[in-house]
Structure 1
Amino acid sequence: MIDTHAHIYASEFDNDRDQVVERALAQGVEKILLPNIDLDSIEPMLQTEAAYPEICRSMMGLHPCYVDSNVKQTLEIIHSWFAKHNFIAVGEIGIDLYWDKTYKAEQEMAFTTQLNWAKEMKLPVVIHTRDSIQETLALLEKEQDGSLSGVFHCFGGSVEEAKAINDLGFHLGLGGVTTFKNGGMDKVIPHLDMDYVILETDCPYLAPVPHRGKRNEPSYIPLVAERIASLRELSIDDVQAMTNRNANRLFAL
């Protein structure tokens, strides 16, 4: 299986990163994709990729929660990295209006700027949305000229939202939220287009049941696959084959 969204470079894994990767491999996780979040995460992310070159692949982008009044300078530095390293995607980018709306205009500018990089470089984008799905879709619709592809990571929305995302040619990243009792995803997953579903953990956050509230890690991906398999009345092998095919195609792995 492929964990398409994991922050195993984060400090939460500094004491046992090797063991975390070993546990993932033991559970059949063959690739772990690393989204960048800000300027401080670049070095640990690239070091993690270098330590596990057969398993980890990096992306480059500015997460909306790290957008501030210096956003233009930050974006220049982020953009300069694409000339220095081979990244598989532009990410993690998007709009987050959950914590703070102070920099909403700057977030939108940063999102649009990075979508345009993706078009120029022919790379997929990894999109973070929180309390912002309609705003994000509206901006994406404006920018979608047929060349943009990517994923709405950590999808926890409605069937209608899933369809709107798929209609723009975008995938849905399903993670720990799919296993939450009151997450509502049991009503949504049976209706999703499986050609657009990929698996993720977003670790160290959002651990699936029965680990909810603890540190998440890539070895928990099978719990997400099992939940999807059960809701879709598929075998876990079917879910693995479908989501791997989608991830391999999207990220050109």
Structure 2
Amino acid sequence: MLVDSHAHVDAPRFKKDRDAVLRAAFAGGIGYIVDPGCDLESSRAAIALAQSYPGQIFAAVGVHPHEATSYNEEVEAQLRSLARAPEVVAIGEFGLDYFRMLSPRDVQRAVFCAHLELARSCNLPCIIHVRDAHEDVIELLRAHGRGLRGVFHCFSGDVAQAEECLSFEGFMLSFAGPLTRPGNALPAVASMVPLDRVLVETDSPYLVPLPLRARRNEPLFVKHVAQKLAEIRGLTLDEIAQITTANATRLFGLGERHEAV
């Protein structure tokens, strides 16, 4: 069994065939899927989808840095209320994205810190998005994130950056489709990350892994990321599946939430 630890299956690109995509994933050995929100609407949609697939899909609630300007006290109150649902296993995805800069830097930083406090008060792990903003994320986590746990989703940095992320004992690194692609430092990162702190994901519908040429990523395709990770670590796919499933289950409390749903 594999866990797709980050997949936006609530997204509009799955509207026409969402149930078929999910049936194929579960039939193909994907045991659990974590669907993170990107704003209030998608957070609600993720919960509704999790309620339709109890014990198989779980939700996270949060505001993506692209949408940081939409965050206010009312949104925070709504997220806090949504986080009480038994299907919700994390706060996210949230973070900093200085690549596209769809929200001002100071707003992104303030909303990032607000999410850290929300995760702390809800006693839930964080799902953190980082793009071209590693230094600021580390700075803010050192100042406001001590004692929290979570995952740097779709990790895209180098070994030195990975080591800084892993200095936060409660955090894991998650690999997605870019691990299967040439021209980056991810194989070196995947070689050094402790096996008890690694996850796999698709970030569906984005980042289709090689060797696939599909136009849309799907949870079933997480097996290609897991296979690449297995090759890098000199392990079998089954071994990596067991390791990453145990890690996801431990971080998100999936077994506990399964019983509660």
Question: What is the TM-score normalised by the length of structure 1?
Answer: 0.94
- Which amino acid is the alignment partner of residue 152 of structure 2? F
Per-residue deviation, residues 70-108 of structure 1 (Å, max 9, x unmatched):
544433332332345652111111111111165211111
1:187 aligned residue: 188
Contiguous gaps of at least 5 residues in structure 1 = none
**2:258 aligns to what?**
none
Q: Any residues of structure 2 matched to 1:155-194 within 5 Å, and which?
A: 155-169=155-169, 170-194=171-195
Cα 1:105/1:31, change in 2 over 3 Å:
same
Letter in 2 for 1:63: H
What corresponds to 2:237 in structure 1?
A: 236
Moved over 4 A (4+): 83-86
Counterpart Cα distance in 2 of 1:22 and 1:79: 31
Q: Name the CA distance, whole Å, in 2 between partners of 1:236 and 1:82.
A: 34
Q: Distance in 1 between matches of 2:235 and 2:43?
A: 38
The answer to whether the aligner puts 1:34 opposite 2:50 as a matched pair is no
Provide the identity percentage: 34
Q: CA RMSD in A?
A: 1.7
Q: Distance in 2 between matches of 1:246 and 1:167?
A: 17
- Asked if residue 24 in structure 1 is aligned to residue 21 in structure 2, the reply is no
Secondary structure (helix, strand or coil) at the match of 2:83 reads helix
Give the match for residue 208 of structure 2. Answer: 207
Amino acid at match of 1:32: I
Matched length: 252
- With the length of structure 2 as denominator, give the TM-score of the two structures: 0.91
Q: Per-residue CA shift, 1:118-174, capped at 9, x if unaligned?
A: 11221100000111111101100112332x000000001111111111111210011
- Report if aligned partners of 1:208, 1:224 keep a CA contact under 8 Å in 2: yes
Label 1:21 to 1:86 Cα distance change in 2 as closer, same or farther (>3 A): closer
SS of match in other structure, 2:137: helix
Letter in structure 1 aligned against 2:159: V
Structure 2 residue ranges without an equivalent (≥5):
255-261
In 1, are the aligned partners of 2:96 and 2:129 still within 8 Å (CA)? yes
Amino acid paired to 1:164: E
For residues 70 and 187 of structure 1, what CA distance do their matches in structure 2 show? 37
* Aligned residues of 1:57 and 1:87 also touching (Cα < 8 A): yes
